[in-house]
Amino acid sequence: MTHPTDIATAPRSVAVLGAGIVGLSIALKLHLDGFRVTVVEKGEPMHGTSYGNAGYLSEANIFPPASSDMLRQLPKFMLSKEGPLVIKPDYATKMIPWALKAVGALKPASYENIVAGLASMTTIAYTSFDELLTAANAQHLLTREGGLVAFRTLAGLEAKSRSLPIWNSFGLAAERVSAQLILEMEPELCKEIVGGIFFKNSGRCSNPRGLGQLYAARLRAAGVEFISDEVRGVEAVAGGVRIHTAGSSFVSEQVVLAMGFQTGAILQKLDVKVPLVSERGYHLMLPRSGVSLKRPVVFGEPHFAATSMDEGLRLAGTAEFARAEAPPNMDRAWMLLKLAKRYLPNVNEADAKPWMGVRPSLPDGLPAIGLMRDAPRIAYAFGHAHNGLTLSAVTARCVSALLQGKKAPVELERYRMERFLQPERATVS
């Protein structure tokens, strides 16, 4: 793997482009590791996709986005207005190459590599937060009461249970639990629950936006500069990387591209095209829900989560593949309330607030983390899809190790963008 040859001796200035939870985690980790950090973000930190995170630090999401079960149900999902998956007609062409690669990820060798990759990051994801939480005095925002997937149908429970041996083979403790135990754990759930899966080591963030804001406050208190501007492009120059913004340009010795979905547009200007698509997610915030859950609960059949937060109960999920800039369809957010009432019959919708954000999704479910081979001063970390919060801290550890030429906490070969590029066009390491 190619690394900058002078990282160990030169003053290490790095510009982190993006101030969502992944970018801020990287910025804070790099600052703690002795880098001189600048953060560039068009708006305020944590006001993009990370703002609306479900708050679930899940140990369940170790599988590619396209499963054989999902493919079987795809026609039903597409025809249902209440389905967990929607593809807008004007985005279908963009989705074709992504979908072909997503199906290709189900080949046995690819599938095993993806599951092992996501599991290797997930097993150390929660403990990776420790350093960042301590630095930002944010320990109170993360708890670890586990996570629950609750089912109203035996068929749904049986299908999910088939993955139990896989989770447990990686040390991700998962067990099937009875309806009686679930109702003891979460009395607010309906009596029609037939059983579920309990992930005892999963966690919860009670305020995802607040977590990132505490990271940003810690950085600012240490003198880290935040530039509020739109990134238009980057280019390798002698001794560093020039960052072009809407208002100016400046040079940093190193750069980290952590702009979520917008990272794809920056890479295209470097003649690197990756199959990154806009997977829009919705949430509905219920500040007066009248319901309190002790842990995140995923409703098994409609595939979305309810998490108790500092500001109320958040219903979050669904996947809408559509142009990032297209007007939101807030009916998708209100749909969550209707579905949630089947599981939480006493939930109160008073003062509910809908929201939509754009997840950066790659077809195999693995994030892209690495250094550009032709420009090794440019690092990248994007494409976390549904795992942005969960994998934010371990991603930060990986990026810091890359920029220092040190061994990362996980083997990074499988996360390189190169996996999507033709051999003769491979431009990353």
pLDDT digits (tens, 9 = 90+) for 237-270: 998 999 999 999 999 999 999 999 999 999 999 9
Decide if 367 contacts 396 (C-beta within 8 A).
Answer: no
First-to-last alpha carbon distance for the chain, in angstroms, is 6
Between CA 206 and CA 314 the distance in angstroms is: 10
Contacting residues for 105 by C-beta, under 8 A, at least 6 apart: 64, 66, 111, 114, 363, 364, 365
| pTM strictly above 0.75 | yes
Burial of residue 416 (number of CB atoms within 10 Å: 0-12, 13-18, 19+): buried
Amino acid at position 32, single letter? L
Give me the pLDDT at residue 78, please: 58
422 pLDDT above the threshold of 80: no
Decide if 66 contacts 385 (C-beta within 8 A).
Answer: no
User: Given the DSSP bridges, would you call strands 203-205 and 56-57 parallel, antiparallel or unpaired?
Assistant: antiparallel
Give me the pLDDT at residue 427, please: 41
Between CA 364 and CA 101 the distance in angstroms is: 7
Condensed to tens digits (0 to 9), the pLDDT of residues 218-231 reads 999 999 999 999 99
Give the side-chain half-sphere CA count within 13 A for 45: 29
Give me the pLDDT at residue 196, please: 98
Predicted confidence band of residue 75 (pLDDT cuts 50, 70, 90): low
Contacting residues for 325 by C-beta, under 8 A, at least 6 apart: none
User: Given the DSSP bridges, would you call strands 304-309 and 312-321 parallel, antiparallel or unpaired?
Assistant: antiparallel
CA proximity to 377, closest of 345, 356, 351, 405? 405
Q: Which domains does the chain have, with CATH numbers?
A: 1-66+107-140+202-273+362-429 (3.50.50.60), 68-106+141-201+277-359 (3.30.9.10)
Residues 41-54: what's their mean pLDDT? Answer: 92
Give me the pLDDT at residue 198, please: 98
324 pLDDT above the threshold of 80: yes
Decide if 244 contacts 319 (C-beta within 8 A).
Answer: no
Between CA 356 and CA 335 the distance in angstroms is: 13
Contacting residues for 148 by C-beta, under 8 A, at least 6 apart: 177, 182, 185, 186, 196, 197, 198, 199, 295, 296, 297, 298
Between CA 263 and CA 265 the distance in angstroms is: 5
